[in-house]
Amino acid sequence: MEISKQEYIVRNFAKLKHKKWELYVITRVFHRLSDLDVEFICQQPIWSAERKRKLSLVDMYFPQFNICLEIDEKHHNNEDQKRRDEDREERILDKRRKQIGIENNNTLRIERIKIANLQGEDHNILEINSQIDSFIDKLRKEKEQKGTLTWNHENKFSATPFINKGCLRVEDRPMFRHQKIALRCFGYTGGHYQQASWRPNPSKFDFQVWFVHTKHKDWDNSLSGDGLVLTETLIKKCKAEERKQLQNDRDIPSCVFVRQKDDLARTLYRFMGIFKKNDGPRRDDSNQLQWEYKRISSVVELFPES
């Protein structure tokens, strides 16, 4: 079930009920900014591109500006924590490269609100408020540079804006809650759809649509850190399945949507671009069948059925 923007906002704040300084800073940012067209995410999960089980949580993220806000309490001042923070920032940058490609990586910024001084004592609340106000000024300047900016949460997972625009672009972060909604972009008019691939009208589209699960009981699929290479590995131990997969035609390009979880742990399918087979079939170090695909375009033009 989809939720309203109002419900989305209060649920984000509810995640912070046991984090007193994060709750103070984030709610102050929200109320002082007082702009319901600026989208934000609290406790955004960030998985390492290389170490898949390493999870970080970004305190506050503004996807329209590619800005992360980190709230540093006194434990961030010791040297070990500083090194961990640097490592964590690199994981965040890895994630952004994985989403939109390394060429756009430099657009991501990480801003910090310092709660404590170098002696480990909390700053006076007026000093913290001053830092928050400076950060809000940066957000307002970002919005001015963007021009017209809207946060249409209720329409966020709809295909309609992209159909009207006439294209999907990786940099716009298209994502859909259900496969059938993603397929609307390519003329699909049916009901619930849960297969891994779908072939749109060949006279309009020269690719298949592929919904990639990074973890599946039969498959281990992974994207490179820069989001440009997709590796497909068959982990099911079955000779009959191997023979079947070796007969499948993998030469047709694929419009790839990767299955992920959003900030409220809901399943979504994120557009990652058009990929074409570059290598395979081959055997990996575990003698498992494997294919490699490279991204050939971060944009796809849409010509859906009327």
- Is the same domain home to 199 and 241? yes
Tell me the pTM: 0.64
Identify whether 297 is part of a domain: yes
Mean pLDDT, range 99-127, rounded to an integer? 73
Q: Taking residues 81-105, what's their average pLDDT?
A: 53
Bridge partners for 258 per DSSP: 212, 270
Same-domain status, 168 and 52: no
* DSSP 3-state of 30: helix
Structural domain contains residue 271: yes
What confidence tier does 100 reach under pLDDT thresholds 50, 70, 90? very low
One domain for residues 284 and 179: yes
Domain membership of residue 291 (yes or no) is yes
User: Are residue 52 and residue 95 in the same domain, yes or no?
Assistant: yes
Q: How many CA atoms lie within 13 A of 58 on its CB side?
A: 28
Tell me which of 12-16, 28-32, 97-101, 106-110 is least confident: 97-101
Residue 272 belongs to what domain range?
157-301
Q: Is residue 186 in some structural domain?
A: yes
What span, in angstroms and rounded, lies between the C-alpha atoms of 46 and 56?
5
Residues 163 and 296 in one domain: yes
CA distance 159 to 180: 10
Instruction: Please indicate, yes or no, if residue 306 is contained in any of the structural domains.
Output: no
Assess whether 210 and 82 both reside in one domain: no
Residue 215 lies in a domain: yes
Tens-place pLDDT, residues 32-44: 999 999 999 887 6
- Does position 52 have pLDDT exceeding 60, yes or no? no
181 and 200 co-located in one domain: yes
- 196 pairs with which residues across the strands? none
Write b or e for each residue in 52-75: b if 16 or more Cβ atoms lie within 10 A of its Cβ, otherwise e: eeeebebbbbbebbbbbbbbbbbe
CA–CA gap between residue 235 and residue 248 (Å, rounded): 17
Model pLDDT, residue 75: 53
Q: CATH no. for residue 289?
A: 2.30.280
- pLDDT beyond 80 at 95: no
Answer whether residue 89 is part of any domain. yes
Is 249 a domain residue? yes
Q: Which of 126, 146, 166 is the last residue of a domain?
A: 146
Beta-bridge partner residues of 62:
67
Omega into 281 within 30° of 0, i.e. cis?
yes
User: Are 97 and 221 members of one domain?
Assistant: no
250 and 190 assigned to the same domain: yes
Residues 191 and 242 in one domain: yes
Alpha-helical segments (H) within the chain:
5-14, 20-33, 79-100, 125-146, 160-165, 179-184, 239-247
Residue 19: what pLDDT? 85
Instruction: Choose between 262 and 272: higher pLDDT.
Output: 272
Same domain flag for 128 and 163: no
Phi then psi dihedrals of residue 279, to 5 deg: -160, 150
pLDDT-based confidence at 73, cuts 50/70/90? confident
* pLDDT score of 103: 43
Q: Return the bridge partners of 261, or none.
A: 267
The proportion of the chain whose per-residue pLDDT surpasses 70, expressed as a percent, equals 81
83 pLDDT more than 90: no
Q: Indicate whether 106 pLDDT > 90.
A: no
The pLDDT assigned to 265 comes to 64
Boundary residue ending a domain (123, 146, 169): 146
Q: Which of 102, 119, 146 is the last residue of a domain?
A: 146
Looking at the predicted structure, is the pLDDT value of residue 303 above 50?
yes
Please tell me whether residues 288 and 171 are part of one structural domain: yes
Give me the number of domains the chain comprises. Answer: 2
